[in-house]
Chain A
Amino acid sequence: MSEEVTSEILTTHILDLAGKGKRLDGRGTDEYRKITVEHGFVTSADGSALVRIGDTAVLSGVKLEPGKPFPDTPNAGVLTTNAELIPLSSPVFEPGPPQPGAIEVSRVVDRAIRAAETIDLTRLCVTPGEKTWVCYVDIHVLDHGGNLIDAALLAALGALTHATVPAKRFGIAAEDYPLEVLHYPVECTFVRLGETIMVDPTFDEERAAQGRLTIATDETGRIVAMQKGLVGAFSPDDIKAMVERAFVHGDRMRLIAKGGVA
C-alpha cells in the first residue's frame, strides 16, 4: 500500500506546485536538468555515448555489421533501433520481453533518426541487392529518472556522431572510416501538470502528468517526429507553443551532443 499512498500524496503536491509555476526540484517550467554526454563510453562498440539528464542515465551503443539489404530497398543500408528498459534501472521495470513503454521509446527514437535522414542509408550499401552495412543502435536505460525519450535519442545521436565503420575488420575496405552524420535530430519532451506545461519531466512529474508530448526537431528547422503519450490532452495552441520551445531547447542540445558546452 505504501507505494500507492506516497505516490498519491506526491502527485497532489506536484500538481499544487505546478499551479504556482513551481517544481519539486526548484527548476523553472521551461528549464532542463543538467545534461552531459560522454562519448566513447563503451570501447567494444563502434560508437557509444552515455547521456545523463539530471538523474536519468541512458547508454547507447552502435554496432555496424555486414548484412543483406531488404529486397524492396536494394541500394540502401539497414538501420535498426532498439531500446531496453532493463530492471536494473528502476523498480517499475520487470524482466521479460519488451513492454509497450520500451517499444514506444525505440520507435519514437527510430522515427526521428530516420525522418531527419541522420545518416545517408545509401552510403551504407556495399554491393546493391547483396551486401550492405547494418547499423544497430541499441539503447540501454541505466537509471530511470524520467524523460527517457530525450535522453535516448541524445545518446543514440551521440553514439552515431562518433561511430567508426569497421571496414577493415570485416575486410570490406583497407581502413576503418568515420560514419558520416548529415543531420542532428533532437527530441524535446513536455508534460502538462494541471494547466502548466513543463519541459524535461522527472519520473514523478511524468507519473502526475495529464499528457506528455515529444517533439523532434533538426538543425534545418524541420519537425521530424512527434508523439503524444500518457493519459491526457493538449490544445492545438499549446502544441504550437511547445514546438517553438522545442526548437530552442533542441539547438542547445545539439551543441551538447556534438561535444560542445552546455
Chain B
Amino acid sequence: MIPELGQFALILALLLAIAQGILPIVGAWRGNAALMAVARPAAAGQAVFVTAAMAILIWAFLSFDFSVAFVADNSNLALPWYYRVTAVWGAHEGSMLLWVFILNVWTVALAALSRHLPQPFVARVLGVLGLLGVGFLAFIVFTSNPFMRELPMPADGGDLNPVLQDPGMTFHPPVLYMGYVGFSVAFAFSIAALLGGELEQAWVRWARPWTNVAWAFLTGGIVAGSWWAYAELGWGGWWFWDPVENASFMPWLVGVALIHAQAITEKRGSLPAWTILLSLFAFSLSLLGTFLVRSGVLTSVHAFASDPRRGLYILGFLIVVIGGSLLLYAIRAPKVAGGKAFAVVSRETAIMIANLLFATSAAMVLLGTLFPLIGDALNIGKVSVGPPYFGFLFVLLMAPVVLLLPFGPYLRWGRADGKSLATVAARAGIAAVICAVAAWYFADGKLRAVAGVAGAAWVAVGTLSYVAKRWREMPRGRRFPAEMAGMLFAHFGVAVFLMGVMLSESLSVERDTRLAPGQTETIGGYAFRFDGVQETTGPNWRGDQGIVTVMQNGETVHVMHPQKRIYTRGQVQTESSIDAGIFRDLYVALGEPMDAANVEGPWALRVYYKPFIRWIWLGGLLMTLGGFVTAGERRFRAKRVAASETPTEPAPAVGKATVA
C-alpha cells in the first residue's frame, strides 16, 4: 500500500509541475498577477510530494520491502542501514528520483530567496523550472517507476553494487547532482530573460550567486567522485576520462566559462548573448550527461541502465529543452553588442580568451566522448580515443589558461595598465624559474614534474602577490570582498591542483609484486613488509585481510590492512588500504594468493607510492570553497541596479577574473 502512495505522490507532483510550468508563464505573458502567483504555491506543492515519494522509497529500503522491484534488486537483509539509504540512488530509477528531488530543492530555495525580484521575472524562472520538472517526473512515472511491484515477493533481495558500498558513494551523487541540476537555475534565468526581453542586465547579477553555488557543488561532486574512484576501484588512478566522468566534466568546463562571462556581463554590460548561450550550454551538457549515462548510447562501466524506450524519451526531451531554448535564443538573443568598449589589453579580453579555451575544451571532451558513436555512424567500427587524446589536448588547451591566470586580478576592466602586468609577470616568472630549478634537482629532471612545479609556482605567486597588493593598498574591511576572496581561493586552488597532478603523475611508483609473509618490497624510501593474511568478516561480506607493515629507516610508520571482500552475492571487491599524507600517499591493494590452496604462502600485492596526490583534491576543494564564498557577495543581493549605474572602478577592485 505505502509504495503505491509513493507512486501517487509522484503523479500529483507531475500535475502540480504542469501547473507550475504553464500558468505563471502565461500569467507573465498576459500580465495576469493571479496566474503569476501560482508559481510559488505550485512549486511548494510539487516539492512536498516529491519529498514524500523520496521518503517512501527510503522507507521501503529501510523496512526491507522486497515486493518493490527496485528495493529487491538493490538491497538485501544483510546490507547495513546506511547503504540501504544510499541504495536509493544506486541504480537508474532511484537516481532519477534524486534528480527531481534536487531540482525541487533548488526550486524551493529560489522561490524563497527571490522575493525582491520583479514578479513577472520570478514567474518565468519558476515556470521554466516547473517545465523541467514535468519532463523528469513524466520520465519517472512512465518509464522508470521506482515503486514497481514484483510479485510474488522474493524472500531476500539482490545486492547493491559493491563498488557503491563505500562512504564516498554516500555523498558523491547528491553533491554532483546539486551541481548538475543547479545549472538549471542559470538556465531558467536565461530563458526568462529571453522570454521577457529584459533590456537591462540586472538579471545576470541575480543569477550569479546561483551559478556559483551550482558550480561549487559540481566541483565538490567531481572531487568526491575522483576520490572515490581512487580509494575504491583499486587501481590508484584518480581520473579515467570515462564517459560518465566526462559527462560531469563538460558542464564543469562550461560552468567555469559561464561564471566568468557573467562577471563581464554584470559589470560591463558586454557579451550578454554569449553569457546567455553559455548558461544554455552548461545546463544542456548536464542534461546530455544524464542522457549519455542513462540511454545506453554509450556503454561505460557506469552505465546502470539501458532501455531504448528510455533513450528515445530522453532524446525527445533533449530536443525539446535544448532545441527549444536554442531556437528561442536564435529569435530573441540581444541584438546589440552593447556594453562598454574595452581595449585589447584588458580584463575583458583575458576572460574572453579563457572562455574560448574552456568552451573549446568542453567541445573537445564532447567529441572524444562521442567518438565511438561517430565511429559507428561513419561505419569505421566502435573506436575509443581514450586518455592519450584527452590528456594531450586538454593540457594543450589549458596551458595558455595557466599562463594567463596570474594576470587576471591585475588586469583592469576596459584597459589594463601594462606596468603592473610586467611586475607580476616578473615576480611570478622568477618564482617559477627558481622552483623549476629546485624541482629539476629533486625530481631527477623529470620534465612533467618540473613543468608542474613551475606552473604551480607561477599561479600561486601571481595570486599571492595580488593578495599582498590588496593588503597594502586597501583599508581594513574592504580588502577582500566575498567575490574577490572566492576568486583568490579558486585561483590558488588551481596552483595546488596543478602541483598535485603533475607531481603525482610523474613521480608515482607503482609496483605489482609477489610477497611471501616476511618478505619486503621497498619503494619510494618505504619498506613494505608483508605479514600474512587473516580472515575477516563484515555485515554482508567475508574476506581476506592482509597485514602490511610499512617502515622507514627501520621504524614502523604504519600498519596497513588491505582487504579482498567477497559479498554474499558473490561479487569480489578490493578494498585498498591507504596511508594518507600531505606529501605522499602509500597505497596497498591485496591481489590473490599465488597458490589458492596455500593462503599462508605468497600473495600478489599492488603497492603504490603516490607523492602529492592529495593536492589534487585539495586544489579541487579550494575551488569549491571559492565558488561558495563568491556566492556570498553582498552586492548580488542588492535590488535592481542597472549595469550602467555600476560605478566605474578605478582599480579592478572586485571581480572574478580569467580562470578558476
Partners in one complex: no
B interface list, Cβ under 8 A from A: none
A interface list, Cβ under 8 A from B: none
